[in-house]
A and B are shown apart, each in its own frame.
Chain A
Amino acid sequence: SQQGEEDPQALSIQEGENATMNCSYKTSINNLQWYRQNSGRGLVHLILIRSNEREKHSGRLRVTLDTSKKSSSLLITASRAADTASYFCAYGETSGSRLTFGEGTQLTVNP
C-alpha cells in the first residue's frame, strides 16, 4: 500500500501534557501536511511543511520533517480537551497533487 503510516494509532493524555504523533511515508514528496478531523467531519488543515524544510511552528504546533528517514512528527504542546480529534498526515508526491493520507492517530485529551 502507498498509504502513509502513523503511530501511535491512539493516544490518551491529560490536559497540559504534550502529544507527539509520527508519520512515515514511502515515496519522494514535495510537501507534507497535517490535518485534524473531529468526529468524522471534514478535515481542518493545520500545517504544511515543504520537502526542503526541516521544522515549522504554528502556535502550539511543531512539525518536523526528515526526508532521509521519510518521516515527520507533529507535536502539540500544552494540550487542551478541545484538541481531542483524529490527526492525519498527508503528503503530496512529486508526480502530482493528489494527497496520500496516513492512517491517522486518535488523540484524546482528558480534562
Chain B
Amino acid sequence: EAGVTQSPTHLIKTRGQQATLRCSPISGHTSVYWYQQALGLGLQFLLWYDEGEERNRGNFPPRFSGRQFPNYSSELNVNALELEDSALYLCASSLAGYREETQYFGPGTRLLVL
C-alpha cells in the first residue's frame, strides 16, 4: 500500500512569489493535515481538511491556504512568500480525524525562499 506522497520534494522561490505544495493521502484516508517544520520553531500545525472542508487552522496568516479535492488529495498554497516561510512542509493523513486516529506523514516538501 502506498504511503502519503508529496510533491515537489524541493521548491525554490523568491520573496513575494506564490508556492503550491501537493499531497496525496493513503488510500481510504479522508483527513489531511499540513504542518510546518521551520528551523528553531519545531513542528507547527497549519491546516486540517476532512471530507473536503477545512476543519481546523493553526496560528498562521491568511496567506497560508489550501484545499482538499474530491479524491481527498490536498494542496497547500502560500502567497506573498517571505524569507521565514523557508521550512519543511509535512503532510499527514488519517482515517476520520474526529476519531483521533494515527497520522501518517509524507516525506515533506522543502521550501526555500530567497
Cα distance, A38 to B97, chains bound together (Å): 26
Q: Which of B35, B56, B88, B102 contacts A96 (CB 8 A)?
A: B56
Q: Which positions 9-42 of chain A face chain B at CB distance < 8 Å?
A: 30-31, 33, 35, 40-42
Q: Which of A30, A88, A90, A97 contacts B31 (CB 8 A)?
A: A97
**Chain A residue with Cβ nearest B31:** A97
A82 part of interface (Cβ distance < 8 Å)? no
Chain A: interface size category: 20 to 34
Per DSSP, chain A at the interface is strand
Q: Contact: B104 with A97, CB < 8 Å? A: no
Which of chain B's residues have a CB closer than 8 A to the CB of A31?
A: 100
B106 part of interface (Cβ distance < 8 Å)? yes
**Chain A residue with Cβ nearest B97:** A97
Q: Contact: B55 with A43, CB < 8 Å? A: no
Cβ-Cβ contact count across A and B, 8 Å cutoff? 63
Per DSSP, chain B at the interface is strand
Q: Which positions 23-69 of chain A face chain B at CB distance < 8 Å?
A: 30-31, 33, 35, 40-45, 48
A86 to chain B, nearest CB (A): 10
A101 part of interface (Cβ distance < 8 Å)? yes
Q: Contact: B90 with A43, CB < 8 Å? A: yes
Interface residues of B (CB under 8 A from A): 4, 31, 33, 35, 37, 42-45, 48, 55-56, 58, 88, 90, 92, 94, 97-98, 100-108, 110
Q: Could you list some 21 contacts between A and B, CB below 8 A?
A: A30-B100, A33-B102, A40-B88, A41-B107, A41-B108, A42-B107, A43-B105, A44-B105, A45-B103, A48-B102, A96-B48, A97-B33, A97-B48, A97-B97, A98-B48, A98-B56, A99-B35, A99-B92, A99-B103, A100-B45, A101-B35
Interface residues of A (CB under 8 A from B): 3, 30-31, 33, 35, 40-45, 48, 88, 90, 92, 96-104
Those 10 A-B pairs whose CB atoms lie nearest each other, nearest first: A97-B97, A101-B43, A43-B105, A42-B107, A98-B45, A42-B105, A30-B100, A92-B100, A96-B56, A31-B100
